[in-house]
Structure 1
Amino acid sequence: MDGMQIGIMVAVWAAIALVVVLLWKRRTSVAGQYRRVTGTLKKFASIRSYKVLQDITLDCGKETVHIDHILVGFFGLLFVNTQVENADYYGEEREEYWSVVKDDVKTRIKNPLNEGIAAMDAARKIFAKNNVYNIQMEQVVVFTSAFKKNVLYVKDTLPIVNVRKLGSLLSKTRFEKDNGVDVEQLVKLLEENKVK
């Protein structure tokens, strides 16, 4: 090999290494972690004729509530809040706020479980106004940081999973069950009643 060929090979390997680093950074970024949850939900929904709504804000009467994702399927609705901060989380099921500790700095966030309950209540009100009743609803909070690196000081019986476990949660038979839900109707009602 002459110097030109060696130079071309080095440039190709450098380009490949750059692409790998950029893809890794994209995947581990906040937006990348959020997209992992979105991708898992959309993959599950696509082969079942389900729908995934993203970044939905619903009116709860005096205030509004934001939910990251709503999976709408024949089973009903799954409300998904995503926590992407690589930090330690401390919280109780009924507390108004949870503590988040990152790099020895403590902050507080609204309890994501309470936000899910508020979003379910808002959806029920929307459906009741339109004579739609008995829709099965549940929620889950998805943490994208690795539980090995970060600690979650929350009861393990709560509807909380790591992003890696989201797929196995969705594979439960209750998400395959056909409860006679009109997916298109519910999506339309939620879209029409979301806060702009």
Structure 2
Amino acid sequence: MSEELSRTAKEVNTIVKDTKVQVKGGFGELRLDFILSKLNKDYIIIKDIIIPGSNKTTQIDSIVISIYGIFVIECKNFSGYIYGNDKDKVWTQIVGKTKNTFYNPVRQNYAHIKAIENVIGDKYNIYSIIVFSDKATLKNVTINGNNVIVRNENEILSTISEYKTITIDKEEIKIIRDKIFDCMKTTNQNTREHVRNLRNITEENKCPRCQIGHLIKRKGQYGEFWGCSQYPKCKYTRK
């Protein structure tokens, strides 16, 4: 019984940790929503959407559609020093004496953009914007792509406003918006369902927690389970 209670306690701790991460990320998205709400009526904002990806659903924090182009935004509510290159597989966060790695957000948002292009086509100017909290310092972040921008929250409005060349006419803006809305209608917009879909992956796919390792089949005291190849750095498991 004590072993079972211990296992239950570990599962509860894991759920609590995951919940804290989701809540923390949610605060960042709320701040981003408030910032984007200051854009004028020339910009259409679609936030927190789920659409089909290459082999699973993909969740996008915000899309801003305008006559000046389309901005696909990935929000990272991180603090500390941030290091990374757009070609790297992982980036680094340093908070005090603690060093963490996380999946390259440029790669992550690239997958979001490809999913959007599958819905609206690939003839439009689409810009990838990675937004970090103002508590983060972009210490050494190198970006070589022309349409990729990494900024802190307080720079987002000015960054979007820099684009003043009209590339999409107003009527086409409505068509793009409607295509995205139609796609959303055919895809479950429940975030929990999206997370469940991410967990429902095979061993070729990335670990849904660290986005670095791959799930491999292991044997434990209670039978077979899927575990991250990055263990013990990442302790994600599922039945």
When normalised by structure 2's length, the TM-score is 0.58
Structure 2 residue matching 1:43: 3-state secondary structure: coil
Using CA pairs under 8 Å that are at least 6 residues apart, name the structure with larger relative contact order, 1 or 2.
1
Matching of residues 20-99 of structure 1 within 5 Å: 31-44=26-39, 46-48=40-42, 50-99=43-92
Structure 2 residue matching 1:154: 3-state secondary structure: strand
What's 2:161 paired with? 171
What's 2:199 paired with? none
Flag structure 1 segments of 5+ consecutive residues without an equivalent: 1-28
What per-residue deviation string (whole Å, max 9, x for no partner) do you get for residues 63-120 of structure 1?
3332211001122310011111112222221222222233433333221111221111
Give the Cα–Cα distance (whole angstroms) in 1 for the partners of residues 106 and 163 of structure 2: 23
Greater share of strand: 2
Give the Cα–Cα distance (whole angstroms) in 1 for the partners of residues 120 and 36 of structure 2: 23
| Aligned residue type for 2:38 | K
What per-residue deviation string (whole Å, max 9, x for no partner) do you get for residues 22-59 of structure 1?
xxxxxxx7544433321222221x432x2111112332
Is residue 138 of structure 1 aligned with residue 127 of structure 2? yes
Give the Cα–Cα distance (whole angstroms) in 1 for the partners of residues 108 and 75 of structure 2: 11
Sequence identity (%): 16
Higher Cα Rg: structure 1 or 2?
1
What's 1:152 paired with? 139
Give the Cα–Cα distance (whole angstroms) in 1 for the partners of residues 160 and 68 of structure 2: 11
Contact map agreement 2:46 2:62 (CA 8 A) in 1:
yes
- Cα distance, 1:184–1:102 mapped onto 2, change above 3 Å: same
Structure 2 residue matching 1:185: 3-state secondary structure: helix
Contact map agreement 1:74 1:178 (CA 8 A) in 2:
yes
Runs of 4+ in 1 over 4 A off after TM superposition: 29-32
- Cα distance, 1:60–1:187 mapped onto 2, change above 3 Å: same
When normalised by structure 1's length, the TM-score is 0.69
Greater share of helix: 1
Please provide the CA RMSD for this pair. Answer: 2.4
What per-residue deviation string (whole Å, max 9, x for no partner) do you get for residues 152-195 of structure 1?
32126651111111121122143x62521522221222233244
